[in-house]
Amino acid sequence: MKIDSYRNQRWLESTLDYIWNTHFEDVPRANNVEIIFGKKAKRRLGSIGLDKDDPGTSIIRINPIFKDLDVPEFVIVATIVHEMTHYAHGFNSPLEQKQQHPHRGGVIRREFAERGLEYMYIEQNAWLKENWPGILDKYFEPTAYRRRNRPVKLKLPWWMSGL
Instruction: List residues binding Zn ion (CB under 5 A).
Output: 163
* d(C-alpha 87, C-alpha 93), whole Å: 5
**Nearer Cβ to Zn ion (95/163):** 163
Distance CA 124, CA 58 (A): 24
Q: How far is the CB of 5 from Zn ion (least distance, A)?
A: 24
Task: Kindly state the smallest distance separating residue 16's Cβ from Zn ion, in Å.
Answer: 16
Q: Which CB sits closer to Zn ion, 135 or 163? A: 163
Helix (H, G, I), strand (E, B) or coil at 84: helix
**Residues 49, 13, 66, 127: is their CA dihedral positive or negative?**
positive
Q: Choose between 37 and 87: whose C-beta lies nearer to Zn ion.
A: 87
Q: Min. distance of Cβ 148 from Zn ion in angstroms?
A: 29
Residue nearest to Zn ion (CB): 163
Is there a contact between 104 and 51 (Cβ–Cβ < 8 Å)? no
